[in-house]
Amino acid sequence: MPVRPVSVGERIKRREDPRLIRGLASYTDDLKLHGGLYASFVRSDYAAGRIERIEASRALSRPGVVAVYTFEDLRGTVGRTPCVARPEAGRDAEHPLLADGRVRWVGQPIAVVVAEDRYLARDAALDVAVEISPTPAVVDPRAALAPDAPRVYADHADNIALHVPATGGPEVQKLFAEADGVVRLELLNQRLAPVSMEGRAVLAHWDEGPQRLTLWTSTQVPHLVKQSVAQCLGIAEIRIRVIAPEVGGGFGAKIPVYAEECLLPWISRKLRRPVKWSETRTENLLGTTHGRGHVHEIEAAYRKNGELLALRGRVISDVGAYPSFFGASIATFTPLMMPGCYHPKAIDVEVVCVYTNTMATDAYRGAGRPEAAYTVERVMDEIAAATGLDPVEVRRRNFIPKDAFPFTTATGAIYDSGDYELALAKALERFDYAGARARQAKARAEGRLVGIGVATFTEICGLGPSTGASPIQRTGSWESGVVRVEPTGNVVITTGVSPHGQGQETAFAQLAADAFGIDVNDVEVLHGDTDVVTHGVGTFGSRGLVVGGTAVHMALEKVLAKASRIAAHLLDAKPEQVHFDGESFRVAQSDRKLGFRQVAEAAHLWNVPIPGEEPGLEAVARFEPTGTTFPFGTHFCEVEIDADTGELELIRYVAVDDAGRIVNPLLADGQRLGGIVQGLGQALCEEVVYDESGQLLTATLLDYALPKAQMFPRIELDSTCTPTQLNPLGAKGIGELGTIGSTPCLVSAALDALRPRGVTHLDMPMKPERIWRALQEAAR
Amino acid sequence: MKLSLTVNGKAQERDVEPRMLLVHFLRETLGLTGTHVGCETTICGACTVHLDGRAVKSCTIFAVQADGRAVTTIEGLASDADHLHPVQKGFWEEHGLQCGYCTPGMIMTTAALLESNPDPSEREIRHAIDGNICRCTGYQQIVNAVQHAAQVGKGRR
């Protein structure tokens, strides 16, 4: 038994916070280098067109303007905008760093102006005259599939970027023929803007002396940036150091490696001066990847008893004007996750990724899974409405039973562990479902529109193994961890995950503190610098603790094993006689012992040679998961809708989640609450809107509506714990859980409120106007 | 234009372009980068500072409008690590931040709230921070943080 209290499982407050709450943390735009220049981009005002002329002389005549570059300057010296999930041959699209004579989306960079300061660079960018002959644009992905639709790429036969056919075969037809009924839905999962509060920012410094590039960038994946920039610019990776300093949120949009991250190094090398760019919010909404953007045409076959037999249909994914980094691969998760917590016998859903004249879409919190959860949860509610069964009962009848895990779904996903009944039971009790339904009945009798929503859901996390992540994605799913013990016994951890708010500096310090019996504050966790962290992949897909934490855990175990051998030598005992009790290495059946710090010191002393051992106490580990984890949960909410205005008020929200073992409940709660509100944002107000010509109508935060504090009540959290057997921590990942559950839960509640008035369909976002219109139409 | 003002208790005199925004003056001229730019349209509140004790968004006022006045930024809230403002302590205790980018603005807004209303209800807190956007926390822990600070304040009085 450990002799000291363990920190894993405790609500330990974050080590990251002191610098952040005092304004002493450095984000990329806070950095300034001597002689630094500032870059500003000239972007396309048209969604589609030919560039006839670019006139930069007026900009160049301003004192302090150093250069203006266009594609002609880059020609032959750089590759294309990085992409690791390239669609199949023939459908792939060339995406140059600066427009090469054609523009394909509003916001596409055409030229870059470099000047002595920020104001000057922006002034000069306005001086660059760009003449464009517009050509017809296509904005709606369904319209883009029409045979006569304008082509985003003139040399392509159609606008299809990627087509993954359905694989269900004759069994699906048979199940539909046998069914008591069929539910048909066309569901929109609208385009969203991730809107990290810090926009993207890049600072590049080519140092001519050592011939090295240092690139500070607001990214989730510094090592992938290093590889991509090396490839794009033809610079050896060893000549590049990428640093992600403090990063102000990512939510998936800071995974892609962007043209700006390649261009600034190119400029710095050309001018031999540091150069910085930081995104304006309008640039962020125009030119940082969007998320979602799906249309689902789905049919569900069911039996009278509520059993879901089969699903068929197609997922249309709007990938925008070019395949972004992971872009086209995101939608391939959607059919995979379409079964949710249930076990339909067959699924036959194809994926069609479509080019449109809009900004590219890519990962956004949940990436492909929230879209699936939204659809299957809507299906569950429709089955309930059709059969007259309670929506909770329909879900329960379709649950994969807890003794069926590991469970292989109809789409081939292998669910590691789960107990959906348990989470549901806890949520039913916590929410007082029966009481809520009784109150609802009373409210309805008074003519009030009160609705109760439910979502039971699962998601795929801790992506791995690398080969199975996505059929077209070429990235590893492993992660690295290095544990270095100083002679003092203090510990330095380096990790390939690159947190930006998730709190891994604290969580990983907890792992080390418990492993070695030291204080959390005696551990330093380093990340986000490719010169410090030799190998890594990054932070996305709830992989930080699950994959990165496991790598750290493995390195800790290796260090502990070596420390144990050293202790045995020093204690004059056999290695198998020595064990670490959480504070000291002890020899069995004796009072001989050595503290961790004594062993650490001895490991480094030149005059204490240990036979068969190298000096020092350090280990490297890389963890490649053998499978993916599937956290899950049940969420309930209650809403009331004002029939006169269409306004929806969220009255209560209860979330019971299961992410396996939790290292730090404080951090986990933070991830859950933030995720829930982000998912509610999709249901309530968020929406990227382009007009028919491809102009972005939501190009400022005055137009793109984000969730705000007054929109929400206090969210109630509870949890169950079903550990995974796929990693030694038993952790399943938690970052995306809330987002996946909350969106369908709120839509479920709204429709529950509106059904008595004849409203059976609503699209997101459920703005008051949309609800009001649905009520008016139903009343007609 | 000549500009003289007090920033975090220290007198400053600078020559600035009349169109320079206060946030850029603080960040670029004075190097006080704790104040962040989030939206440039007064929606997100990441740039909130105190001007003569009142919370204002520094991305939509000019530096010259602060002439002769006193500005406090996040860097001026605590003298050192051991003397954090109660609101800063609240944010740390209650996990009122994740990425930390909106945090300085949130802290400045809520510190001003507690000056005028030392014991706000949850509704009042949510109302007060409605002009500050946080994309990470879902606001709940921020509310907890402000309540924590208010409790500390009660103990003091």
Q: Which of A271, A287, A303 is the last residue of a domain?
A: A287
pLDDT (tens digit, 9 = 90+) per residue, A375-386? 999 999 999 999
User: DSSP label at A696?
Assistant: B
Report the CATH number at residue A395: 3.30.365.10
| Partner-chain contact A676 B138, CB within 8 Å | yes
State whether A316 and A213 are in the same domain: no
User: Which stretch of A119-128, A166-175, A279-288 has the lowest confidence by average pLDDT?
Assistant: A166-175
**Residue A74: Cβ within 10 Å count:** 18
Angle, helix A504-516 to helix A550-570, in steps of 10 degrees:
20
What per-residue confidence (pLDDT) applies to A167?
80
| Partner-chain contact B101 A198, CB within 8 Å | yes
Contacts of B141 in chain A (CB under 8 A): 669-670, 673
- Is residue A476 very low, low, confident or very high in pLDDT (cuts 50, 70, 90)? confident
Mutate to test the interface with B, among A13, A20, A21, A684 (most CBs of B within 10 A): A21
Residue A341 has pLDDT above 70, yes or no: yes
What per-residue confidence (pLDDT) applies to A92?
83
Interfacial A residues in 668-687 facing B (CB < 8 Å): 669-671, 673-678
Percent of chain B residues past pLDDT 90, beyond the cut: 94
Q: Answer whether residue A7 is part of any domain.
A: no
State whether A296 and A355 are in the same domain: yes
Q: Which of A623, A654, A687 is the last residue of a domain?
A: A623
pLDDT (tens digit, 9 = 90+) per residue, B113-131? 999 999 999 999 999 999 9
Contacts of B130 in chain A (CB under 8 A): 708-710
Q: Is A666 on the interface with B (CB under 8 A)?
A: yes
What per-residue confidence (pLDDT) applies to A271?
98
pLDDT (tens digit, 9 = 90+) per residue, A34-84? 999 999 999 999 999 999 999 999 999 999 999 999 999 999 999 999 998
| Partner-chain contact B143 A29, CB within 8 Å | no
Contact at 8 Å (CB) between A509 and A587?
A: no
Kindly identify which residue of chain A lies nearest to residue B80, measuring between CA atoms. A22
In terms of pLDDT, which residue wins out, A605 or A246? A246
Q: Is A709 on the interface with B (CB under 8 A)?
A: yes
What per-residue confidence (pLDDT) applies to B75?
98
Q: Answer whether residue A687 is part of any domain.
A: yes
Nearest-CB residue to B39 (from A281, A676, A714)? A281
Longest CA pairwise span in chain A (Å) = 92
User: Which stretch of A72-86, A178-192, A635-649 has the lowest confidence by average pLDDT?
Assistant: A72-86
pLDDT (tens digit, 9 = 90+) per residue, A214-267? 999 999 999 999 999 999 999 999 999 999 999 999 999 999 999 999 999 999
The number of C-alpha atoms within 13 Å of A311 and in the hemisphere containing its C-beta is 31
Q: Is A620 on the interface with B (CB under 8 A)?
A: no
Which tokens hold the place of A474?
């070429």
Q: How many domains does chain A have?
A: 3
Question: In the predicted model, what is the mean pLDDT of residues A731-758?
Answer: 97
Q: Which domain holds residue A506?
A: 17-22+478-623
Interfacial A residues in 221-260 facing B (CB < 8 Å): 246-249, 251
Q: Answer whether residue A636 is part of any domain.
A: yes
Which tokens hold the place of A716?
């109630």
Residue B91 has pLDDT above 90, yes or no: yes
Interfacial A residues in 439-498 facing B (CB < 8 Å): none
Q: Is B138 on the interface with A (CB under 8 A)?
A: yes
Contacts for A72 with CB less than 8 Å, ≥ 6 apart: none
| Partner-chain contact B34 A22, CB within 8 Å | yes
Question: In the predicted model, what is the mean pLDDT of residues A732-758?
Answer: 97
State whether A335 and A440 are in the same domain: yes
Q: What is the mean pLDDT of chain A?
A: 95
Q: Answer whether residue A439 is part of any domain.
A: yes
Q: Which of A623, A648, A674 is the last residue of a domain?
A: A623
Give me the sheet containing A291-302, strands edge to edge.
A160-164, A346-355, A308-320, A291-302, A181-192
Residues pairing with A188 in the sheet: A295
pLDDT (tens digit, 9 = 90+) per residue, A301-330? 999 999 999 999 999 999 999 999 998 899
State whether A636 and A744 are in the same domain: yes
Which tokens hold the place of A167?
């694989």
Q: Answer whether residue A2 is part of any domain.
A: no
3-state secondary structure of A66: strand
Contact at 8 Å (CB) between A434 and A514?
A: no
Alpha helices (H) along B1-102: 22-24, 86-93
State whether A419 and A518 are in the same domain: no
Vertex A581 angle, CA A575 and A582, to 5°? 125
What per-residue confidence (pLDDT) applies to A90?
62
State whether A671 and A698 are in the same domain: yes
Residue A2 has pLDDT above 70, yes or no: no
Q: Is A714 on the interface with B (CB under 8 A)?
A: yes
Residue A3 has pLDDT above 60, yes or no: no
Report the CATH number at residue A234: 3.90.1170.50
Distance CA(A115)–CA(A117), nearest Å, equals 6
Interfacial B residues in 95-134 facing A (CB < 8 Å): 95, 97-104, 107, 122, 125-127, 129-130, 132-134
Residue A4 has pLDDT above 90, yes or no: no
What per-residue confidence (pLDDT) applies to A462?
84
Q: Are strands A275-278 and A37-43 parallel, antiparallel or unpaired?
A: parallel
What per-residue confidence (pLDDT) applies to A501?
96
Q: What is the mean pLDDT of chain B?
A: 96
What per-residue confidence (pLDDT) applies to A459?
92
Question: In the predicted model, what is the mean pLDDT of residues A509-524?
Answer: 96
Q: Answer whether residue A259 is part of any domain.
A: yes
pLDDT (tens digit, 9 = 90+) per residue, A619-634? 999 999 999 999 999 9
Residue B35 has pLDDT above 60, yes or no: yes
pLDDT (tens digit, 9 = 90+) per residue, A534-564? 899 999 989 999 999 999 999 999 999 999 9
What per-residue confidence (pLDDT) applies to A1?
45
Q: Answer whether residue A185 is part of any domain.
A: no
Question: In the predicted model, what is the mean pLDDT of residues A351-371?
Answer: 96
pLDDT (tens digit, 9 = 90+) per residue, A86-124? 887 568 888 999 999 999 999 999 999 999 999 999 999
**Residue A607: Cβ within 10 Å count:** 5
Structure ipTM: 0.98
State whether A281 and A317 are in the same domain: no
Q: Answer whether residue A186 is part of any domain.
A: no
